[in-house]
């Protein structure tokens, strides 16, 4: 608290002017220097956006608080001249600042903070992994003219982050050009010392750019002594990246999890002179309010023990009441990453789970549309029916898996809620609903749009990229186990996003997936699953193959209404392919408007992926290469004979018959999910037992 309140602001204004004059005597007398030892009285100097604010009492710049999915930006209100002319070369600059990241849960960061040079004082940006700097449509675009140094506390696989405690140099993108784990070089030459960016303690950072050597150095330290060597040194000429005038400042964001991001003090200068040093003693204190609180409590206690007694009785009453209403929080809930919503919040968001808001009924329960009262953002709330025995298990699986996944082709789980037997999952709202509606419903009363071929291909590529991420991009292998058109959702821009992770399973890279009950959907289930019960990446590839055929043909993999020949889509496509008439299978709703080569490529790929022999199927990485035209899809080596022997035809068709005639028909056609109980490695008597999860 010492700094500003003791010395008073005018002192610093004077200091600043003196120092400004001094730096202008230097080699580059352009622009100027900024010096903020705390931000008290600096409201006029900064352009604040999002939830950024200056604590009026102590001059702490708070970029975000601990509320999920918000951003805060604070840029110096006038642009600084960083080049002598629009085509000139970028000038050297230096900055020093002190920041602190205080996470909601000690070990889990909620996104991060960045120092940025931006052409705008409040970029149109998104929170979470975008750090309030960019949005999903301008990532990587050269016209961003953005230079940033990120202090990131979440590992985003989308942007190739190295870990959840790193520093990165970002140019026009959040995929860092160079990054390093949080650490500094000790003064005594003893080497690198790890530094936890989200420790809640003040961290000093220096960023220096030298126009002569075109090198950016980033250095951090737990105290005000600048370490002898930078932790990150990256050679880049900023001349083409920076504009003549740039705004300098900070941006921070929170994600599913949240941290408070603070800047305690900041200096910035142009020219080679280095930035003004900041002393910790001059900075606003972080622990101020907390101390006051404890102090107040201490006084309270000493004032009167009677008060304490009353308080205690009150507390007991409160706890008893609370326990009656509250759900006990179980162990697993404590380890869950996404936000836990209160039941009241979700009830209000969905108008008390009114039928009007019902979006659909899935295998595990109902999905409602809702609008969060606080942020006015639209969400989809999945309510898992409590009679479901499956319920809790699926719920835990879903939260622990998808809550930590981040990819643009995956439906983001925002949080969850549990109230007695009601289990609720909150997702990003996908305005265009599920893909199967577009593919299969267009001849029904509600005339939905028919997807064009380019749209279909775009969705296919998106789903492939999401699946590749699940298989290879995450710290564990995630097997989706239920890839199908009805689990692909479409966002506002018609991007395909994989959803419904109710059955997803994780295992470590390189380890063997264990045998579990076979779950999935008939028509997408890889044949080996019924034998081995081991769902692995290649069984997802099989389902993806069925999905490809579905999208091209606009038909379900098993169509009970079709003729015997066309009953199983895969066999039908294969038959036509062998006859050399494969284009006959293409969805007639596209009216023949498609690129034949692309359609042929996707159909061949669909057949390749749905090969009955797992070792003949490509990995998702290879699938991506085929889809991007980087390799030609080989002629499918699938042998129909082999397929025939894989399947127990009679049992299979028996099943189809009962399937088609049963009262489940309606339900099945929207969500035919099958559970096959499997006792270790024995071959089951009846291959496909239908189990209705909602019963």
Residues tagged in the binding site annotation for ATP: 382
Classified as helix, coil or strand, 318 is helix
| Site membership for ligand NAG, residue 143 (CB under 6 A) | yes
CB of 215 or CB of 358, closer to ligand NAG: 215
**Nearer residue to ligand NAG within complex by CB, 34 or 498:** 34
Q: What part of residues 197-256 is at the interface with ligand NAG (CB under 6 A)?
A: 208, 210, 215, 217, 229-230, 233, 236
Tokens of 223: 């105290």
375 binds ligand NAG (CB under 6 A): no
Q: Which is nearer to ligand NAG, 63 or 633 (CB)?
A: 63
Exposure class string for 585-615: b at 16+ Cβ within 10 A, else e = bbbeebeeebeeebbbbbbbbbbbbbbbbbe
Taking alpha carbons only, the member of 440, 614, 453 closest to residue 543 is: 614
Question: What part of residues 624-663 is at the interface with ligand NAG (CB under 6 A)?
Answer: none
Strands (E), 104-223: 112-118, 147-152, 166-171, 178-181, 183-185, 192-194, 203-210, 215-221
Question: What does the alpha-carbon distance between residue 11 and residue 281 come to, in Å, rounded to a whole number?
Answer: 16
681 is catalytic: no
| Residue with smaller CB distance to ligand NAG, 282 or 487 | 282
In the complex, residue closest to ligand NAG by CB: 210
Instruction: CB nearer to ligand NAG: give 94 or 486.
Output: 94
**Residue of 57, 135, 315, 516 interacting with ligand NAG (CB under 6 A):** 135
Exactly one of 1, 5, 26, 45 binds ligand NAG (CB under 6 A); that residue is 45
Which of 6, 44, 306, 564 binds ligand NAG (CB under 6 A)? It is: 44
Kindly report the length of the chain. Answer: 695
- Retrieve residue 425's tokens: 């999952």
The beta strand positions in 337-485, using DSSP E, are: 339-340, 358-362, 365-371, 378-384, 413-419, 422-428, 476-479
Active-site annotation holder among 482, 491, 500, 587: 482
Cα 34 to chain centroid, rounded: 35
One-letter-per-residue 3-state SS of 58-88: CCCEEEECCCCCCEEEEEECCCEECECCCCC
How far apart are alpha carbons 350 and 368 in whole angstroms?
7
Which secondary structure element, helix H or strand E, spans residue 642, and what is its range? helix 640-646
Q: Minimum CB separation from ligand NAG for residue 119, in Å?
A: 9
CB of 352 to ligand NAG, least distance (A): 24
Does position 299 bind ligand NAG by CB under 6 A? Answer: no
Applying CB under 6 A, the span of 171-179, 296-304, 577-585, 589-597 interacting with ligand NAG comes to 171-179
Among 2, 175, 396, 583, binds ligand NAG (CB under 6 A): 175
Largest separation between any pair of C-alpha atoms in the chain = 93
The whole-angstrom separation of Cα 347 and Cα 356 is: 14
The interface mask with ligand NAG, positions 64-103, x = CB under 6 A, is -xxx------------------------------------
Nearest distance in Å: CB 236, ligand NAG:
6
239, 235, 204: which is closest to 115 by C-alpha? 204
Residue at token pair 């602190």 = 100
Residues annotated as catalytic (active site), given as ranges: 482
Which residues contribute to the site for ligand NAG (CB under 6 A)?
13, 16, 34, 44-45, 51, 65-67, 123-124, 135, 137-138, 141, 143, 171, 173, 175, 177, 208, 210, 215, 217, 229-230, 233, 236
């Amino acid at each position: 608290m010492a700094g500003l309140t003791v010395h008073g602001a005018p002192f610093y204004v004077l200091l600043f002017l003196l120092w400004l004059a001094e730096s202008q005597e230097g080699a580059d007398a352009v622009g100027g220097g900024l010096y903020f030892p705390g931000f008290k009285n600096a409201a006029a100097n900064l352009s604040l956006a999002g939830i950024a604010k200056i604590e009026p009492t102590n001059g702490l710049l708070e970029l975000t608080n601990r509320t999920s999915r918000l951003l805060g930006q604070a840029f110096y209100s006038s642009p600084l001249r960083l080049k002598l002319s629009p085509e000139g070369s970028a000038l050297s600059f230096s900055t020093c600042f002190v920041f602190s990241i205080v996470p909601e849960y000690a070990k889990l960061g909620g996104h991060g903070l960045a120092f940025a040079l931006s052409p705008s004082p409040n970029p149109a940006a998104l929170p979470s992994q975008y750090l309030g700097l960019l949005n999903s449509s301008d990532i990587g675009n050269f016209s961003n003219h953005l230079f940033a140094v990120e202090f990131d506390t979440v590992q985003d696989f989308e942007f190739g982050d190295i870990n959840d405690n790193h520093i990165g140099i970002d140019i026009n993108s959040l995929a860092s050009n160079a990054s390093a784990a949080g650490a500094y070089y000790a003064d005594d030459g003893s080497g690198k010392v790890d530094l936890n960016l989200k420790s809640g303690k003040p961290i000093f950072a220096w960023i220096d750019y030298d126009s002569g050597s075109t090198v950016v150095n980033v250095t951090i330290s737990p105290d005000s002594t600048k370490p002898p060597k930078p932790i990150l040194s990256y050679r880049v000429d900023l001349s083409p990246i920076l504009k003549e005038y740039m705004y300098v400042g900070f941006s921070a964001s929170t994600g599913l999890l949240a941290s408070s991001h603070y800047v305690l003090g900041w200096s910035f200068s142009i020219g080679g002179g280095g930035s003004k040093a900041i002393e910790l003693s001059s900075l606003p204190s972080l622990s101020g309010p907390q101390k006051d609180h404890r102090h107040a409590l201490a006084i309270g206690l000493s004032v009167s023990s009677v008060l304490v007694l009353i308080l205690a009785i009150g507390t007991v009453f409160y706890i008893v009441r609370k326990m009656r209403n509250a759900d006990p929080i179980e162990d697993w809930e404590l380890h869950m990453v996404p936000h836990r919503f209160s039941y009241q919040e979700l009830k209000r968001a969905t108008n008390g789970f009114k039928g009007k808001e019902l979006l659909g009924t899935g295998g595990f329960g109902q999905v409602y549309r809702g609008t969060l009262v606080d942020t006015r953002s639209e969400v989809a709330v999945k309510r898992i029916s409590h009679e479901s025995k499956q319920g809790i298990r699926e719920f835990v699986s879903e939260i622990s898996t998808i809550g930590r996944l981040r990819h643009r082709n995956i439906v983001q789980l925002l949080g969850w809620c549990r109230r007695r037997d009601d289990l609720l999952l909150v997702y990003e709202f996908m305005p265009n609903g599920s893909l199967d509606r577009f593919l299969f419903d267009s001849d029904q009363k509600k005339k939905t749009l028919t997807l064009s071929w380019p749209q279909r291909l775009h969705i296919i590529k998106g789903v492939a990229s999401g699946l590749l991420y699940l298989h290879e991009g995450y710290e564990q292998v995630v097997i989706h186990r239920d890839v199908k058109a009805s689990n692909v959702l479409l966002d506002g821009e018609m991007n395909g996003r994989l959803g419904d992770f109710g059955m997803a399973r994780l295992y470590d890279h390189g380890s063997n997936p264990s045998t579990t009950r076979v779950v999935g959907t008939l028509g997408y289930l890889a044949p080996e699953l019924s034998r081995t019960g081991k769902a692995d990446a290649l069984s997802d590839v099989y389902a993806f193959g069925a999905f490809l055929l579905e999208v091209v043909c606009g038909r379900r993999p098993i169509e009970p209404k079709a003729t015997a020949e066309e009953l199983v889509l895969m066999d039908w496509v294969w038959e036509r392919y062998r006859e050399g008439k494969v284009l006959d299978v293409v969805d007639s709703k596209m009216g023949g408007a498609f690129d034949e080569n692309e359609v042929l490529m996707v159909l061949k790929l669909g057949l390749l992926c749905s090969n009955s022999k797992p070792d003949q199927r490509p990995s998702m990485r290879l699938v991506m290469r085929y889809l991007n035209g980087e390799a030609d899809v080989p002629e499918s080596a699938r042998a129909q004979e082999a397929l025939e022997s894989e399947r127990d035809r009679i049992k299979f068709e028996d099943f189809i018959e009962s399937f088609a005639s049963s009262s489940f028909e309606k339900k099945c056609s929207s969500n035919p999910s099958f559970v096959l109980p499997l006792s270790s490695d024995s071959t089951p008597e009846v291959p496909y037992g239908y189990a209705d999860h909602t019963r």
